[in-house]
Amino acid sequence: MTKIDDVARLAGVSTATVSRALRGLPTVSAATRRRVLAAAEQLEYAVSPSASRLAGGRTGTVAVVVPRITRWFFGVIVETVEEFLHQAGYDLLLYNLGGRERIRQRVLRTANLHKRVDGIMLVATPLRPADLTALGALDLPGVIVSSGTGVPGWPCVRIDDVAAARTATRHLLDLGHRRIAHISGDPDDELAFTTHLDRRRGYRDALRAAGLHPDPSLDVESQFTIDGGTRAAEELLRRGDPPTAIFAACDEMAMGAMTALREAGLRVPQDVSVVGIDDHDLAGALGLTTIAQPAAEQARLAARLLLDPLGGRVLDPLAAPAGDGPPGIPVILPTRLVVRESTAPPRAH
């Protein structure tokens, strides 16, 4: 493999000049740069990342940490960030936590990310005090997407989960529902994150604002998955006196709940209305009413907030968004209610 010395020799300059020319530093004459570029091309020279990192201290790599890439929201985030990062010349190191607590520790504790990346994107990642200490010790720039815990000095991009849940619940209230169940995340989950707490709060807020008392027997905790939604809905039905409507904390849970309802012989929305949050790819196919959240926009904005301080050569920078506050103050992106066929007024008794 050709190395920088070969290029230097062919171009008739020093390796320092080759290095400068190839990286586009301004302190190189146009003629020299041309010669260097030609030589590099002719030799098909590619810089050695390890050597460049060791000497220069930059890794050109960003770590992206998600709970489960197979969930719709996280898939969209990673896909969008990947494009953005590669356009900006960065590599993407993927960490899929997948509920494996030990791996999560390994990722977040100093050792693994140490000197491995220039920046970190944490998506819906729950942080304990020890994690925060470890991240602080890393002394790297980072960005938070979608709630989870905040890190001092890191910007955060998210939606207003409380408001989204409130809107979903109010939609059901407006249709005339009074027995509205809620399916949400399991606080005992090792990877519990704050999202489900906020969404439960919005649900309760909306009920109270309508003069209703949240009924604990209508509030079921489960996993943020299709299966979790199915099991939660089964549990609800087992309790007897089923609700006339269900607000699930995410679309995947809502879809799982729809399956359970159908298996139980209940029709959606005639017998039970269902609403979720996300606007999942398949929400349309299933006719699911939901609160749409802008996943790709959150990803793009977060990537930009991360790369800007890194001096990333972003090819297609976004216009500065209105809500683009200083680091630490979360940037809140808007959500919107999308009414489909899974919600309707309750049947008259």
Partner DNA sequence: CTGAAAGCGCTTACAG
CB of 113 to DNA, least distance (A): 15
Examine residue 159 and tell whether it contacts DNA (CB under 7 A). Answer: no
Examine residue 285 and tell whether it contacts its own copies (CB under 8 A). Answer: yes
- 334 φ, ψ (degrees, to nearest 5): -75, 150
Q: Tokens standing for 270? A: 């005639």
Examine residue 26 and tell whether it contacts DNA (CB under 7 A). Answer: yes
- Contact with its own copies (CB under 8 A): which of 30, 50, 240, 241? 50
Examine residue 29 and tell whether it contacts DNA (CB under 7 A). Answer: yes
DSSP E strands in 153-298: the ranges are 156-159, 180-185, 219-222, 245-248, 273-278, 289-292
Closest CB to its own copies among 65 and 207? 65
- The site partner of 130 among its own copies, DNA, none (C-beta below 5 to 8 Å per kind) is none
Residue whose structure tokens are 């012989």: 265
Stretch that binds DNA, among 45-53, 170-178, 196-204, 282-290 (CB under 7 A): 45-53
- The site partner of 340 among its own copies, DNA, none (C-beta below 5 to 8 Å per kind) is none
Closest CB to its own copies among 91 and 235? 91
- Cα torsion 69, 246, 157, 316 to 10°: value is 60
Examine residue 38 and tell whether it contacts DNA (CB under 7 A). Answer: no
- The site partner of 78 among DNA, its own copies, none (C-beta below 5 to 8 Å per kind) is its own copies
Examine residue 183 and tell whether it contacts its own copies (CB under 8 A). Answer: no
How many angstroms separate the Cα of 171 from the Cα of each of 48, 200, 207, 243? 57, 15, 11, 15
Listed in sequence order, the residues at least 6 apart from 286 whose beta carbon sits closer than 8 Å to its beta carbon are 255, 258, 342
Tell me how many residues contact DNA (CB under 7 A).
32
- Contact with its own copies (CB under 8 A): which of 9, 23, 34, 100? 100
Listed in sequence order, the residues at least 6 apart from 84 whose beta carbon sits closer than 8 Å to its beta carbon are 299, 300, 303, 304, 307, 314
Cα 201 off chain centre by: 21
CA-closest candidate to residue 340, choices 271, 291, 267: 291
Examine residue 14 and tell whether it contacts DNA (CB under 7 A). Answer: yes
Examine residue 94 and tell whether it contacts its own copies (CB under 8 A). Answer: yes
- 50 φ, ψ (degrees, to nearest 5): -60, -45
Q: Could you list the residues that contact its own copies (CB under 8 A)?
A: 1, 44, 46, 48-51, 53-54, 59, 64, 68-70, 72, 75-76, 78-79, 82-83, 86, 91-96, 98, 100, 103, 106, 110-112, 114-116, 226, 230, 255-256, 258-259, 281-282, 284-286
